[in-house]
């Protein structure tokens, strides 16, 4: 198969954001657009490492995924790559790509391209995206994404194998080609292997969790579970794991067929966009207060790295979720049996995790927004578990956040709390008070089901509660958003009090990576109050048009405040602080928006 050298010119705006390059499909459809970015990525990698290497190429199945996979495969061949692993149908979740890069049948890949715009809508008029992940399975660090961007501003040609290099990606199997080398002109072997998109990832999960305990819980007649795949890539994983492996009824999988346009929805697992699940769990505006609802509900985003956790008529904030997983990890999850090495959260994420870390005597790192900042800490053995307020939770089993992993973590906590574990609470109780918990080893445990709400409330009673909300103002004109940010910047260090809230400190968050010393500045404007409350502002780095302003508000209530304060409605409890944030930013005045687009 011959290789073509195609002349091209730089195209503006190919700077990767928080998580890769995300643009409208129509932008990606411009001639050479994808090719320029892919060649710039190859050119940013040392050619001696790339030559003969193995890469993973797959995505969340959104519109444009399949033709893009085909193009990248041909470009990989032309650039000297030896082998490409493609998930069946071009599908693989972001965490599964991370897992495969790190380990597949004892082998590993040099890196991979993930085709996703994550939680952004898909379809001919919506978003597409691409990002490069490195050999550790994690998103390219800023040093590399900056180099890729620099290359896109200077590119003059790209290399692509002839169109006769074709693979049927719907069928598992290996195809081998002889491809001309771009520099030497000699022919070398190039292989494409279409792999099962779930298998390697499932193998990894089996090592992390006790599948017997999970299965016992899911088979309990009084434990109903609903999972919403939002028509993203999570569907095939959910069916295989929850139904085939763990024995949950197929009816627990909602919207689990991947669609190129996510069924017209916005595949973002939050209370606004995951309305199907929200209604199912009795949390919808029009939900009946008495209808029977499942005990546990969860959803993932388009590429299955995000998760939302719900109980019956109960929402778990992502910041609480990671803290509660940390609090229970050692007892409930076999992978963490020897304890946590450390934990980490992004700066805007609530400090609920910090309190657990303190109690457990492990360090809690605070990094900028975006999963790429956790990678170094994990590679260096400093962090086992981490999370973001934006519905991202994960651990060092891979280098991406992991939606299905988080759902299994919660199921493990529920299984443990319901006495399904052999060495769990049930056994301890049985030792101290024989007879009391007899039968705890029955199928999935017995007795009244301990539910999500109880677990969360017990957590607050022990650690206190970090009330939390995020306001998103989407698609704001860039000039107006900049004005909001400059207004806030002008207040840094200038204001000491707003109403009765006393400001202790205000700054722009800057992060120095403790492992490699790299510095990431301008990562959000913070106002820290004397009572531990915080308001934070930053601009999103994942949107594809206009600007999105994110406003994060957090207020801590100590355990001794008592149940009434601890169980208060979050929106009500945070109202005064939200008003402070709106005043500080002059949000309404400067954006003309009465209300945010999304509140989480
Ligand atoms: C958002 C979230 C951030 C997350 C990122 C990628 O970034 O705030 O926490 O890591 O999306 O998630 P931003 O810059 O828009 O605030 V995903 O599921 O889109 O890969
Ligand atoms: Co995502």
Q: Tens of pLDDT along 378-405?
A: 999 999 999 999 999 999 999 999 999 9
Structural contact between residues 228 and 297, judged by C-beta atoms closer than 8 angstroms: yes
Question: What are the residue numbers of the active site?
Answer: 118
Tokens coding 454: 């109880």
Q: pLDDT tens, 320-335?
A: 999 999 999 999 999 9
pLDDT score, position 244:
96
Q: What is the mean pLDDT of residues 149-171?
A: 96
Q: 268 CB less than 6 Å from ligand 1?
A: no
pLDDT score, position 498:
82
Structural contact between residues 371 and 391, judged by C-beta atoms closer than 8 angstroms: no
pLDDT score, position 290:
81
Q: 263 CB less than 6 Å from ligand 1?
A: no
| Protein fold of 464-599 | TATA-Binding Protein (3.30.310)
Residues 6+ apart with CB under 8 A from 51: 80, 81, 82
Where does the pLDDT of residue 19 fall: very low under 50, low under 70, confident under 90, or very high at 90 and above? confident
* Residue 546 buriedness (CB in 10 A; 0-12 / 13-18 / 19+): middle
Please name which of 180, 224, 236, 219 lies closest in space to residue 444, comparing C-alpha atoms.
219
Q: What is the mean pLDDT of residues 429-440?
A: 44
Query: What is the pLDDT of the chain when averaged over all its residues?
Result: 92
pLDDT score, position 556:
94
Q: How many residues does the chain have?
A: 600
Q: 19 CB less than 6 Å from ligand 1?
A: yes
Where does the pLDDT of residue 496 fall: very low under 50, low under 70, confident under 90, or very high at 90 and above? confident
pLDDT score, position 435:
43
Q: What is the mean pLDDT of residues 411-426?
A: 74
pLDDT score, position 291:
84
Where does the pLDDT of residue 440 fall: very low under 50, low under 70, confident under 90, or very high at 90 and above? very low
Q: 306 CB less than 6 Å from ligand 1?
A: yes
Residues 6+ apart with CB under 8 A from 303: 59, 60, 93, 94, 114, 116, 118, 119, 232, 233
**What residues does CATH 3.40.120.10 cover in the chain?**
3-196, 201-412
The CATH homologous superfamily of the domain defined by 3-196: Alpha-D-Glucose-1,6-Bisphosphate, subunit A, domain 3 (3.40.120.10)
Least confident of 13-22, 177-186, 436-445, 567-576: 436-445
Where does the pLDDT of residue 445 fall: very low under 50, low under 70, confident under 90, or very high at 90 and above? low
pLDDT at 120 over 70: yes
pLDDT score, position 446:
63
What distance separates the 2 farthest-apart alpha carbons in the chain?
79
CA-based radius of gyration for the chain: 24
Structural contact between residues 136 and 120, judged by C-beta atoms closer than 8 angstroms: no
**Distance (Å) of CA 405 to CA 234, 440, 467, 543:** 11, 25, 25, 26
Distance, in Å, from the CA atom of 177 to the CA atom of 187, rounded to the nearest integer, reads: 9
Distance, in Å, from the CA atom of 484 to the CA atom of 327, rounded to the nearest integer, reads: 38
pLDDT at 418 over 80: yes
Of 3.30.70.360, 3.40.120.10, 3.30.450.40, 3.40.50.670, the CATH number of 201-412 is 3.40.120.10
State the first-to-last Cα distance of the chain, in angstroms, to the nearest integer. 52
pLDDT score, position 495:
81
Q: Nearest ligand, CA of residue 127?
A: 1
Place of tokens 């939302």: 308
Which of ligand 1's atoms lies nearest the C-alpha of 303? 18
pLDDT at 147 over 50: yes
pLDDT at 429 over 60: no
127 — phi, psi (to 5°)? Answer: -105, 155
Strands (E), 142-293: 157-161, 173-180, 187-195, 225-228, 253-254
pLDDT score, position 433:
46
Structural contact between residues 208 and 334, judged by C-beta atoms closer than 8 angstroms: yes
pLDDT score, position 501:
84
Q: What is the mean pLDDT of residues 552-570?
A: 93
Sign of CA dihedral 344, 347, 352, 356: positive
Q: pLDDT tens, 463-479?
A: 999 999 999 999 999 99
Q: Nearest ligand, CA of residue 539?
A: 1
The SS3 call for residue 57 is: strand
**What residues does CATH 3.30.310.50 cover in the chain?**
464-599
Q: What is the mean pLDDT of residues 174-193?
A: 90
Q: pLDDT tens, 340-392?
A: 999 999 999 999 999 999 999 999 999 999 998 999 999 999 999 999 999 99
Q: Of 17, 19, 119, 375, which is best to mutate to test ligand 1, by the most ligand atoms within 8 angstroms of its C-beta? A: 19
Q: Return residues with CB closer than 5 A to ligand 2 (ion).
A: 118, 301, 303, 305-306
Pairing status of strand 54-59 against strand 111-115: parallel
Centroid of ligand 2 to alpha carbon of 129 (angstroms): 11
Place of tokens 């003059």: 156
Q: 388 CB less than 6 Å from ligand 1?
A: yes
Q: What is the mean pLDDT of residues 76-89?
A: 96
Place of tokens 């319901």: 418
Please name which of 516, 524, 565, 491 lies closest in space to residue 349, comparing C-alpha atoms.
524
pLDDT > 70 fraction of the chain, expressed in percent and rounded: 95
Structural contact between residues 507 and 347, judged by C-beta atoms closer than 8 angstroms: no
pLDDT > 90 fraction of the chain, expressed in percent and rounded: 82
Which of ligand 1's atoms lies nearest the C-alpha of 389? 9
Distance, in Å, from the CA atom of 554 to the CA atom of 565, rounded to the nearest integer, reads: 15
DSSP-assigned letters across all residues of 515-567: TT--EE----EEEEETTS-EEEEEE-SS-SSSEEEEEEEEEEE-GGG-HHHHT
The SS3 call for residue 347 is: coil
Q: What is the mean pLDDT of residues 265-290?
A: 90
pLDDT at 423 over 90: no
Q: pLDDT tens, 206-251?
A: 999 999 999 999 999 999 999 999 999 999 999 999 999 999 999 9
Render the burial of 237-274: b for 16+ CB within 10 Å, e for the rest: bbbbbbbebbebeeebbbbbebbbbbbebbbbbbbebb
Q: What is the mean pLDDT of residues 255-264?
A: 96
**How many CB atoms are located within 10 Å of the residue 1 CB?**
17
């Amino acid at each position: 198969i011959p290789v073509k050298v195609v002349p091209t010119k730089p195209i503006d705006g190919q700077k990767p954001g928080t998580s890769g390059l995300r643009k409208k499909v129509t932008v990606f459809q411009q001639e050479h657009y994808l090719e320029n970015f892919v060649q710039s990525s190859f050119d940013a990698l040392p050619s001696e490492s790339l030559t003969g290497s193995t890469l993973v190429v797959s995505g969340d199945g959104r519109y444009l995924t399949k033709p893009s996979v085909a193009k990248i495969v041909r470009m990989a061949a032309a650039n000297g790559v030896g082998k490409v692993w493609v998930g069946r149908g071009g599908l693989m979740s972001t965490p599964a790509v991370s897992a495969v890069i790190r380990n597949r049948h004892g082998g590993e890949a040099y890196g991979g391209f993930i085709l996703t715009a994550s939680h952004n809508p898909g379809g001919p008029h919506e978003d597409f995206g691409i990002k490069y992940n490195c050999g550790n399975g994690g998103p390219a660090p800023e040093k590399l994404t900056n180099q890729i961007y620099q290359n896109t501003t200077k590119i003059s040609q790209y290399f692509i194998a002839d169109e006769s290099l074709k693979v049927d990606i719907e069928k598992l199997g290996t195809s081998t080609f002889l491809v001309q080398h771009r520099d030497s002109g000699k022919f070398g072997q190039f292989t494409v292997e279409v792999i099962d998109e779930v298998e390697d990832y499932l193998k990894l999960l089996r090592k992390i969790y006790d599948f017997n305990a999970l299965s016992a819980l899911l088979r309990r007649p009084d434990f109903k579970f609903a999972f919403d795949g939002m028509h993203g890539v999570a569907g095939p994983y959910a069916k295989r794991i929850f139904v085939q492996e763990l024995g949950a009824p197929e009816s627990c999988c909602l919207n689990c067929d991947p669609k190129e346009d996510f069924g017209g929805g916005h595949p973002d697992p939050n209370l606004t966009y995951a309305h199907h699940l929200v209604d199912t769990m009795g949390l919808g505006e029009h939900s009946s207060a008495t209808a029977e609802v499942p005990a546990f509900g969860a959803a993932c985003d388009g590429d299955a790295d995000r998760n939302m956790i719900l109980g019956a008529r109960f929402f778990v904030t992502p910041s609480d979720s990671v803290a509660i997983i940390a609090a229970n990890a050692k007892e409930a999850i076999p992978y963490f049996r020897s304890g946590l090495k450390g934990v980490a959260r992004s700066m805007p994420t609530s400090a609920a995790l910090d309190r657990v870390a303190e109690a457990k005597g492990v360090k809690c790192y605070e990094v900028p927004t975006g999963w790429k900042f956790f990678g170094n800490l994990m590679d260096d053995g400093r962090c086992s578990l981490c999370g973001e307020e934006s519905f991202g939770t994960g651990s060092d089993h891979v280098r991406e956040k992991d939606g299905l992993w988080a759902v299994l973590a919660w199921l493990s906590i529920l299984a443990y709390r319901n006495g399904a574990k052999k060495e769990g609470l049930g056994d301890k109780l049985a030792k101290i008070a024989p007879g009391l918990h007899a039968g705890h080893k029955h199928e999935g445990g017995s007795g009244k089901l301990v539910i999500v709400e109880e677990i969360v409330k017990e957590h607050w009673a022990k650690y206190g509660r970090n009330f939390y909300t995020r306001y998103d103002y989407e698609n704001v004109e860039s000039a107006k958003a900049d004005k909001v940010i400059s207004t806030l910047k002008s207040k840094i260090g200038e204001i000491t009090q707003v109403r009765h809230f006393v400001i202790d400190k205000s700054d722009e968050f800057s992060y120095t990576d403790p492992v490699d010393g790299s510095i990431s500045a301008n990562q959000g404007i913070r106002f820290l109050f004397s009572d531990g409350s915080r308001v934070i502002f930053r601009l999103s780095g994942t949107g594809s048009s206009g600007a999105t302003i994110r406003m994060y508000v957090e207020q801590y209530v100590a355990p001794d405040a008592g149940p009434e304060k601890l169980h208060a409605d979050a929106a009500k409890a945070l109202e005064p602080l939200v008003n402070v944030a709106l005043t500080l930013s002059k949000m309404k005045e400067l954006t003309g928006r009465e209300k945010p687009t999304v509140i989480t």
